[in-house]
Structure 1
Amino acid sequence: MIDSDLVSTYVVNLPRRADRRAWIERRLPVGAPAVFTSDLGVPIDGRELARADIADLDITLFDWQIESENPWWSRPLKFGEIGCTLAHLACWRHAIENSISPYVLVLEDDAILVPDVSSRLREGLSRLSAVGEVFDLLYLGRYLLDPDTPTPVRGIVRPGYSHCSFAYLFSREGVRAALSTGLERAIIPIDEFLPALYMPHPRADLRRRFPPRLAALAFDPPLATQRAKADAGSDTEESAFVVS
């Protein structure tokens, strides 16, 4: 089991997706209590958000769409992307306000954890501690876009530009650093926000708004993968674009 004194676990899940909640609950380590965003009463469902809700929620959207060959950058934000970012923000805020654990594990409800995730996570943290390797963000799994950099620690790398936020660990200092960015005043997809925290983002406008501010590491091989969209669907992608 994951020691709850060491790690507070959060799962991003929509209230209407009880099916996905049941799926991941069966796969979480035994005895590892988790806080689900579906229990927090926060507006995170992209299907229910509308343009008028933005002002009511006291958030501001980043001027996201640009001319680019990257199809993710050259179209408007989706309400599902906004909701997903708000869900991750809700996890971080809840952890700072309610948790005393030194680490915060955030999972999305389509994360597939390796069977021995608890022992491998503890072993990884122990190896890092033994050599004095400090981190703020530790990916358990991600989609690599640019090359990683090796570290002296077996099974741990410094991540290159990566996408996907289905499984990551923050230190409490990392949570505070993420919250200090004022993300709620410049909402972007969480998959783009996490790499901006630890490296100069490929987009100049994002580099200016979110300069790097923390140290990141990643498990390699990963401790988590993600269910195929053909199997689980995508509540983020299956939502409307935000249009003026």
Structure 2
Amino acid sequence: QGYYKRTLDYPLIREWKRTGCFAVPMIHSTFLIDLRKEASTKLMFYPPHQDYTWSFDDIMVFAFSSRQAGIQMFVCNREHYGFLPMPLKSHQTLQEEKENFVHTLIEAMSNGLALPLIPHAQAGRLMSFSSTQIFMINLKRRKDRRDRMLRTLYEQEIAVKIVEAVDGKALNTSQLKALSIDMLPGYRDPYSSRPLTRGEIGCFLSHYYIWKEVVNRGLEKTLVIEDDVRFEHQFKRKLMKLMDDIEQAQLDWELIYIGRKRMQVQEPEKAVPNVMNLVEADYSYWTLGYAISFQGAQKLIGAEPFSKMLPVDEFLPVMYNKHPVAKYMEYYESRDLKAFSAEPLLVYPTHYTGQPGYLSDTETSTIWDNETVSTDWDRTHSWKSRQQGTIHSDAQNKDALPSQSSLNTPSSRDEL
């Protein structure tokens, strides 16, 4: 009838949840045609078929031509063949074309595609965000992650300081005692009921030592990213715009998630007045990426968390008084961290539980106080690392988003 309508099969095929070759009503952008078949001579984009009466759209024109020729179209997703940048729309600029291409490159890298080695950065090309120091946490033994992240950051012209993560596998009991580390009494993982792992302690310490550096160096604002993130399209531009808007609004902030798993999904989070794309953070998981202020780092260190340790992504919601387990919060008297979140998020995990390539250094570890007891919950019980589920429309953070009318952009076909 002259328009696109997605079936229930569409997202399953589009997201590789169902693989194979499937008969479909239309395809676009890249395809193979068997020119040995006589019917292929009847395929055309222009001029449209004489019986075509719908809007002048290349995808629909070609689909109609194929149907009239008696040719069935198929989409095959058994193999990941590559990436194709979307062409510019009439209102877009060449700068956006560059950003689109860069995003295509880093998406390919995130999916494990081996690209030619990138030359060493020329002096002056890489840059930080104004006065913001950027730290990237990486385990020394995860060289593949480090190399991928450095390449994706290079393509975005972002300079970072690599922070060698504390390896939970290398921690021993005497080291934990020397640091006076003790698990918060009664803590249990919400999904597997296991206690704290040494991998989680290593993760906590990695972030903690960055907070210490922030305070020792008097850094006004800092961005922290882990080494397994996938950057959103126009990440750098969007982040700089958000931070500029926050500064103009003179918002008093101490922590801003740019990547997380939202756990409170019963109702919307509160939008921040005068700052678009920002909400007050409710209970959240993950420390993929966040901005932290000098005052925020002071508060996290001042809480003296070593003697009552939680996983770092459980500790942060405690510190901004949004953890659902009240008894955990009782151990922290001061819980007034000013925490916010980008909406929509600017980074996501490269892999989720159950996907090829997923790996956890925090959950595949040993129990915190007994190095002879190993854990392997990441492959069977790690709901924590699963992809964010669909959030009901009534609980979505719509108030933090610009109105559709203000976007002033035509409908996009990017997601076909």
Question: What range is the shorter-chain TM-score in?
Answer: 0.7 to 0.9
Aligned to 1:13: 138
How many angstroms apart in 2 are the aligned matches of 1:154 and 1:164?
A: 23
Which one of 71, 79, 90 corresponds to residue 198 of structure 2?
79
Report deviation, 1:31. 4.4
Given that 1:64 and 1:188 are in contact with CA atoms closer than 8 Å, whether structure 2 keeps it comes out as: no
Equivalent residues in 2 for 1:1-244, closer than 5 Å: 3-28=128-153, 30-38=156-164, 44-66=166-188, 70-72=190-192, 74-98=193-217, 100-147=218-265, 148-152=269-273, 153-210=275-332, 211-229=334-352, 230=355, 231-243=357-369
Moved more, 55-64 or 151-160: 55-64
Q: Distance in 2 between matches of 1:27 and 1:234?
A: 21
Higher relative contact order (CA 8 A, sep 6+): 1
For the structure 1 residues 150 and 212, does the alpha-carbon distance in structure 2 shift closer, same or farther, using more than 3 Å as the test?
same
Q: 1:83 to 1:111 in 2, by over 3 A?
A: same
Partner SS for 2:205:
helix
The farther-off stretch of 128-137 and 168-177 is 128-137
Structure with bigger gyration radius: 2
| Equivalent residue pairs, number | 236
Classify the secondary structure of the residue corresponding to 2:328.
helix
Identity of aligned residues (%): 27
Q: Which amino acid aligns with 1:103?
A: K
TM-score normalised over the length of structure 2: 0.53
* Residues 76 and 243 in structure 1, CA contact (< 8 A), matched pair in contact too: no
Structure 2 contact 179–306 (Cα < 8 Å) conserved: no
Question: CA, structure 1 residues 186+105, in 2 after alignment: closer, same or farther (shift >3 Å)?
Answer: same
> Structure 2: how far apart are the matches of 1:169 and 1:64?
30
Cα deviation code 1:186-227 (max 9, x no counterpart): 221001011112124212222112242211111111111111
What is the one-letter code of the residue matched to 1:107?
I
What runs of 5+ residues in structure 1 fail to find an aligned partner? none
Instruction: Report if aligned partners of 2:221, 2:291 keep a CA contact under 8 Å in 1.
Output: yes
Map Cα deviations across residues 111-168 of structure 1 (whole Å, 9 max, x no partner).
Answer: 1222422221121122222233221111101000114222222111112111000100
Q: Which amino acid aligns with 1:12?
A: I
Over the aligned positions, Cα root-mean-square deviation in angstroms equals 2.1
Report how far residue 58 of structure 1 moved. 3.6
CA distance in 1, matches of 2:270, 2:136: 29
Code of the residue aligned with 2:271 in structure 1: it is P
Which secondary structure does the structure 1 equivalent of 2:147 belong to? Answer: helix
Unaligned runs of 5+ in 2: 1-125, 371-416
